[in-house]
Structure 1
């Protein structure tokens, strides 16, 4: 898949049911529980990557004064540049909104994501031991074992200047 075949566009109101369905498929529920709170990605701004009329990726985010926080990001076709295109769309939006920083949270088992984000300028910022265990109390769908058989327990925050 070549980058010119992929179009990245803002999430529109008509996309909300699809975003909710996709979030449920990829994250186990319509809500994403992170840093002792919850987000509903179908209600958030975001970008959709499309290829040949189908969704190839999605990123949703929350904006606070000076900070854009990526809530979800998924490239359905991995290793094809979609994730990078979504990150670049978020960077441009953060700059347009006057944000100074982009943040995101991942889990201790997500070593592929840690590699991906760091290669795109993100730095490790915080570790919350036991945060996933606490989130599991609110959202029991969160598995106990994550990628590569690693026990899923902790959250890791990453940040990147805009």
Structure 2
């Protein structure tokens, strides 16, 4: 397997970013903690292998830290998500923030395992957070992974 390269997205990457978001998220609009983001308009990190996109992370840096808005790997358990999170943590440090954080949902058991194994901790639960998000994005399903009702948002963070 060839080397994995993580780099910052550019305007030339817009089409592949939009396609990746559409495939993973059903479009470019992502809703978390009561806010709708157009993830295609956010800064991005791209993971490439043989010049092919194998992962994407979109983010926003504020005084509150670096928020990972989306993260996707085309092939699980190939180190892509780990490399993207590590690059995001480095970006956060370089930006002068001391927190990398994200929101996921109560059904996302694989992601919860992934994030916690990489040092993120659950720091908040918003009961009914996904129910609220559906007002902004009605296409969010009612049943999530493993047949679990999709209702709540969980906030995880990594202190840097």
TM-score by length of 1: 0.95
Counterpart secondary structure, 1:83: helix
Partner of 1:24: 22
Partner of 1:97: 95
Q: Which runs of 5+ in 2 are unaligned?
A: none
Pick the aligned partner of 1:121 from 107, 119, 127: 119
- Quote the Cα distance in structure 2 between the aligned partners of 1:70 and 1:85: 13
- Quote the Cα distance in structure 2 between the aligned partners of 1:58 and 1:15: 11
Aligned residues of 1:28 and 1:142 also touching (Cα < 8 A):
no
Deviates more, 1:4-13 or 1:77-86: 4-13
Q: Which runs of 5+ in 1 are unaligned?
A: none
The number of residues matched between the two structures is 160
TM-superposed deviation, 1:21: 2.0
TM alignment of 1:1-162, pairs within 5 A: 1=1, 5-162=3-160
Q: Give the RMSD, CA atoms, in angstroms.
A: 1.1
Deviates more, 1:68-77 or 1:132-141: 132-141
TM-score by length of 2: 0.96
Counterpart secondary structure, 1:125: strand
